Amino acid sequence: MDDFNKSFKSYLTISKELEDWLQQGRQRMDSLLKPEKNLLPEERVMYTMELQSDIEEQVKKYEQHQEMWQSLKPTTDAENSEESQVRMHVRTWTSYVRLINFARPAKQLQKRLASLRIACCLK
C-alpha cells in the first residue's frame, strides 16, 4: 500500500508539472504567433525550433506519465481476485441480513393482525 501511495503521489506531482508546462508552452506559442516586439525571421525560426524540441520532450514525459497511470489503475484481473470475491460475498450477506431484518417485523405484524382477527371474531 505504501508503494502505491508513493507512486500515486509521484503521478500527481508529474501531472501538476505537465499542467504548469502546458500554460508556459501556450504563452511561448502565443508570443511566437503575436510577438510583442519585431522578431527577425531567423529568431522566430530558432524560437519555434526550441518550442518544438520542448514539446517533444513533454510528449515523452506525458507518455511515461500514461504508462505510470496504466500501472496504477486497477486491472480487470483484480475483479476476479480473492478480494473482489470477498466483497461480493459481503454484499450478498449484507443484502440477506437486511432482508431478514425487514421480514421479521413483517412476520410479527402478520401474527399480530392474525391474533387481532381471532380476537375480533371471538367477541
Residue 26 clears pLDDT 80, i.e. is over it: yes
Of 17-26, 92-101, 114-123, which one has max mean pLDDT? 17-26
pTM for the structure as a whole: 0.52
Instruction: Tell me what pLDDT residue 11 has.
Output: 82
Q: What is the pLDDT of residues 30-85, one digit of tens each?
A: 888 888 888 888 888 898 899 899 988 988 888 888 888 887 776 665 555 777 77
Domain boundaries, given as residue ranges, for the chain? 1-73, 81-123
User: Helices 2-33 and 41-72 meet at what angle, rounded to 10?
Assistant: 160
Q: Backbone phi, then psi, for 38, in 5-degree steps?
A: -70, 125
